[in-house]
């Protein structure tokens, strides 16, 4: 790399709490001349981190990715900021999509691009209650912004039928008030009504809440834009400990012959 070469690093801040942001991410933020991201995620970056901040709206991911790559092509050290993990429904793919676009990708041929992982919302939520992701699980976004709703339904049904624990991201938005209920209905065709469901909102942030209910009551959960939902498999268990605390976990073994 010459002194004029720019670098773009896509970083994951973790769910919110600064303590879950990795040292590698903090180093990359400290080295950045420019920080690019959705405004509320940039606000999650410690105030002590320098660099020019370039906030943008949540729906401008392609434009944000191109702007960040352009800055790096000018020789800047750019950190593109995501919450959680940048590779999970976030900016790492948005950057790669631009690098894959034959119409524009040559502009950024000399830019070094790195991705630094972070703790994703499902991991952070799981850790709050025990180990619900302790066996096979999958992750589905209920958003139909970037894929048709028919595909969302197909995947939820397939995951439920295959007895995966299912982590549901983007379970609700003002424009999509009914999809979470529909997803629970579809899961209910393959799971017992007593299956544990965890709804975790603002994990690692002020106002965090974590609720554990049974699948039959899941539609009454207060699910919002900053909620991740974990739906247990047939083997996920709720354990009441002697002190009244609850542990939810999925055993590592699966019954033979099922």
Task: Give the residues lining the site for ligand SAM (CB under 6 A).
Answer: 15-16, 82-85, 88-90, 120-121, 169-170, 200-205, 225-228
- In the complex with ligand SAM, the residue whose CB is nearer, 51 or 84, is 84
Residue in 95, 94, 92, 138 with CA at minimum distance from that of residue 118: 92
Residue count (the chain):
258
**Which residue number, 205 or 237, has a Cβ lying nearer to ligand SAM?**
205
Alpha-carbon gap, residue 195 to 193, rounded angstroms: 6
In angstroms, the CA 164 to CA 28 distance is 35
Residue 50: CB minimum distance to ligand SAM, A: 24
Distance of CA 171 to the CA centre of its chain: 12
CB atoms within 10 A of CB 51: 18
User: In whole angstroms, how close is the CB of 106 to ligand SAM at the nearest point?
Assistant: 29
- The nearer residue to ligand SAM, 72 or 125, going by C-beta atoms, is 125
Cβ 3 to ligand SAM, closest distance in Å?
Answer: 33
Nearer of residues 83 and 179 to ligand SAM, judged by Cβ: 83
Q: Are strands 165-169 and 227-231 parallel, antiparallel or unpaired?
A: antiparallel
Minimum CB separation from ligand SAM for residue 229, in Å? 8
Residue closest to 35 by CA, chosen among 64, 15, 60: 64
Residue 71 or 228: the one with the smaller Cβ distance to ligand SAM is 228
Least Å distance, CB 58 to ligand SAM, is: 8
Q: Is 250 left (phi over 0), alpha (psi -120 to 50) or beta?
A: beta
> Beta-strand (E) ranges in the chain?
7-12, 34-38, 52-56, 77-82, 112-116, 130-131, 137-141, 165-169, 196-201, 209-214, 227-231, 237-240, 246-249
Nearest distance in Å: CB 77, ligand SAM: 22
The residue among 98 and 143 lying less far from ligand SAM, judged by its C-beta, is 143
Closest residue to ligand SAM, Cβ-based? Answer: 84
């Amino acid at each position: 790399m010459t002194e004029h070469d720019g670098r773009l690093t896509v970083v994951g801040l973790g769910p919110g709490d600064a303590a879950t942001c990795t040292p590698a991410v903090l180093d990359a933020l400290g080295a950045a001349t420019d920080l690019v991201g959705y405004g509320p995620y940039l606000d999650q970056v410690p105030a002590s981190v320098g660099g020019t901040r370039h906030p943008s709206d949540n729906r401008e991911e392609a434009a944000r990715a191109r702007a960040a790559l352009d800055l790096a092509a000018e020789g800047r050290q750019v950190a593109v900021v995501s919450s959680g993990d940048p590779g999970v429904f976030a900016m790492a793919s948005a950057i790669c999509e631009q690098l894959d676009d034959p119409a524009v990708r040559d502009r950024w041929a000399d830019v070094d691009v790195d991705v630094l992982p972070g703790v994703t919302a499902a991991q952070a939520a799981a850790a709050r209650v025990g180990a619900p992701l302790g066996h096979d699980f999958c992750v589905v976004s209920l958003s139909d912004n970037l894929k048709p709703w028919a595909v969302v339904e197909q995947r939820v049904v397939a995951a439920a039928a295959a007895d995966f624990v299912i982590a549901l991201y983007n379970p609700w938005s003002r424009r999509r008030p009914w999809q979470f209920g529909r997803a629970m209905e579809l899961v209910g065709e393959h799971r017992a009504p007593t299956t544990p469901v965890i709804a975790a909102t603002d994990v690692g942030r002020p106002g965090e809440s974590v609720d554990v209910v049974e699948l039959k009551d899941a539609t009454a959960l207060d699910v919002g834009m900053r909620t991740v939902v974990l739906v247990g498999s047939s083997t996920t268990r709720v354990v009441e400990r002697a002190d009244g605390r609850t542990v939810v976990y999925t055993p590592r073994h699966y019954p033979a012959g099922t």
